[in-house]
Chains A and B, each alone.
Chain A
């Protein structure tokens, strides 16, 4: 065995055990019957997959798509200027980049709770606004789609900024000079040169944000309350309250299949994934 393979072996085994094995278990579970108190039983069935076509779930899938798409679009719109600013800040690049990833130093759960403290009726924003006499009744900031999208954008913005930064940083500044030299105003230079040359970064960022947003359950659970049920929450419910493990497995496989299709659709001919 080559030395290189010897070093690769632990990772390969870890991947096999922690990724392939659970995936196999989910596939098997999705083809079994639910047990009375959770768990799975024989006989084999494909009923869990036929149930997916129920319009109730279709609506939830579409809602999840919509929210993930809006969050991704907002991350792009907010992330692009930030990535551009960082790419052009010379010696301060590293400082700004570490500020972007600073939130990762605390748990996502705790940061989501922090948003609840900010947004709830007795939270900081409503209290301050009321104390200043700007509003009488608290604004409904928490437990709606807006709060979920806010939480997602906040949580996943770095995943958009980092790949955008990587492409912008490599962008040859003389190309922008050439655009101006050929008569392009800044906005046209941006549209005609910067944007198309950043397409790989935009695709990578969009995938890195969209896929986890699609499967989110924590953000929607905490910030969306009972009103915002997304695919992630649906899956979670099957394994907890509903005690329908086989259907939960089928749902998560469907989610995974959709994510894979999107990934391959986003890949351009001859280009690497991500």
Chain B
């Protein structure tokens, strides 16, 4: 395991058996997570990303394969012996303990003066000063999420596992928390393994993204690589709308409506504020979409021509 990697999955598979039927949740996944990275596992629900997270945390044992953390094999260790911590989707804060009590829970082995100092510091980091004596039920959703973060990062884990931590927040707050979370990760320097089904979330926050589908890894790369050069049709479609024209992918924002080019007929125009969404049928029948500036005046039934820059074409296997 190269020293710049903090976490490695080697050919990990996981089967779940129920009612005499075996389902393969994770199929032969190998993955390396660089130290200090914001690494996202992206995929639709049921693709196995949460199962991977739970195998790293120790809540599930791999059916086959190995999990390595800091050059130590950990897949047989119980969760309480792994130096990884989890921010749960529902946060799983202890309802009978205060914010202070929740954060102290994992610090039991430290000296008491040291505990107070570390709790104060981490509360400052997540901007929850003055809330130490509150119960989780007295906090807002965003504050609870920050307690869950504080409780985990105070233990300085080798990897912090985040299971869709933004899904319980309302959409307004979610966008704000994205940049906060990203900033926090940079400042603290802890490796994040971040599970999400939201491609915008993954694209905006991650250093690297691993796209998963049906238990298998589709592609690993930076957000730019994944979006602009998807290797499979699934990745291309999952990361945003994609037109498939003669087997070649072109994103709607790469389609230009010009005086010359391939002929098409506008079938619908949707105004979306900052831009317009134009639905068209190419000559020959293929339905495509384009994204154009909000001021443009197209109407259904109008004949137009479309072009695109060959550099923006996406070729998948």
Contacts and interface: CB of A to CB of B under 8 A. Distances in A.
Q: Do A and B come from one complex?
A: yes
Interface of A: 172, 174-175, 177-185, 188, 192-193, 196-197
20 contacts: A172-B90, A174-B92, A177-B57, A177-B59, A177-B79, A177-B92, A178-B88, A178-B93, A180-B58, A182-B85, A182-B152, A182-B155, A183-B108, A183-B109, A184-B80, A184-B108, A185-B80, A193-B94, A197-B95, A197-B96
Contacts of A177: 57, 59, 79, 86, 88, 92
Contacts of B78: 180
Contact of B80 (A174, A183, A192, A197): A183
Contacts of B275: none
B95 A181 contact: no
Q: A174, A177, A182, A184: which has the most chain B beta carbons within 10 Å?
A: A182
A183 B93 CA distance: 15
Interface residues of B, number: 23
In order of increasing CB-CB distance, the 6 nearest A-B pairs are A182-B106, A178-B92, A180-B79, A174-B92, A181-B86, A196-B96
B80 A175 contact: no
A174 B93 CA distance: 9
A175 B91 CA distance: 9
B150 to A, nearest CB: 12
Contact of A175 (B79, B84, B86, B94): B94
B105 A174 contact: no
B197 interface: no
Nearest to A179: B105
Contacts of A197: 95-96
B14 interface: no
A257 B84 CA distance: 55
Given A181-B79, A183-B155, A175 B92 contact: yes
Interface in B7-52: none
Contacts of A178: 86, 88, 92-94
A192 B105 contact: yes
Contacts of B92: 172, 174-175, 177-178
A180 B84 CA distance: 11
A182 B105 contact: yes
Q: B57, B90, B94, B95: which has the most chain A beta carbons within 10 Å?
A: B94
B151 interface: yes
A174 B58 contact: no
Contacts of B94: 175, 178-179, 192-193
A178 B152 CA distance: 10
A29 to B, nearest CB: 47
A183 B94 CA distance: 14
Contacts of A179: 94, 105
A179 B155 CA distance: 13
Contacts of A183: 80, 106, 108-109, 155
A174 B90 contact: yes
Contacts of B155: 182-183
A173 to B, nearest CB: 9
Contacts of B93: 178
Nearest to B105: A182
Nearest to A192: B105
B151 A182 contact: yes
Interface in B101-156: 105-106, 108-109, 151-152, 155
Interface in B281-305: none
Given A177-B79, A184-B106, 8 more contacts: A177-B57, A178-B88, A179-B94, A181-B57, A182-B155, A183-B108, A184-B80, A193-B94
A172 B92 CA distance: 8
Contacts of B59: 177, 180
A189 B88 CA distance: 17
A114 to B, nearest CB: 40
A180 B60 CA distance: 13
Nearest to A176: B92
A177 B54 CA distance: 10
B96 A180 contact: no
Contacts of A188: 108
Q: A172, A174, A183, A188: which has the most chain B beta carbons within 10 Å?
A: A183
Contacts of A181: 57-58, 79-80, 84-86, 152
Contacts of B108: 183-184, 188
Nearest to B59: A177
Contacts of B84: 181
A211 B95 CA distance: 30
Contacts of B90: 172, 174
Nearest to B148: A178
